[in-house]
Structure 1
Amino acid sequence: MTLKKFQELDLSSAFLFAIVMQDDETCRMVLELILERPISKVKVHAEHSILLSSDFRSVRLDVYAGDETQVDYNLEM
């Protein structure tokens, strides 16, 4: 694995994607661009895990956001 300088990173970098999307307002604007509709205020959780069963099976989401109308969004790089 080759390391890149910070200036060479873009949103396809998992590190930079997670950092940028942690900001609620930035995440909201990206969702609006992707979905082409207005999105209400969102609350973001980076690297959110969801427990699927009692035997500790889970899934980890890169960025999990929810808006005021109780719509949830899963953003993956």
Structure 2
Amino acid sequence: MNKKKHHWAKMLVRLPPPLKAWVVEEAERNCASHNSEVIRCVRERMEREKAAASLAKAKLRGVAASAAAE
């Protein structure tokens, strides 16, 4: 049997107690592991930042196009 191995980087993260409690609650609510909740949060943040960067670039292109048209 040829199993594909994932090469995941391990990382130790120290969380303040209120943040740890939130992760535990969210994981339980979503029937997920603590690890997967942290990954979900980081991925959501990455997507928001990518979207914000794309929007900023689009606005800059719009401003440049408006200036060129004048």
Work out whether the TM-score is over 0.5.
no
The structure number with the bigger radius of gyration is: 2
Question: TM-score by structure 1 length?
Answer: 0.24
Structure number with higher helix proportion: 2
Higher RCO structure, 1 or 2 (CA under 8 Å, sep 6+): 1
Structure number with higher strand proportion: 1
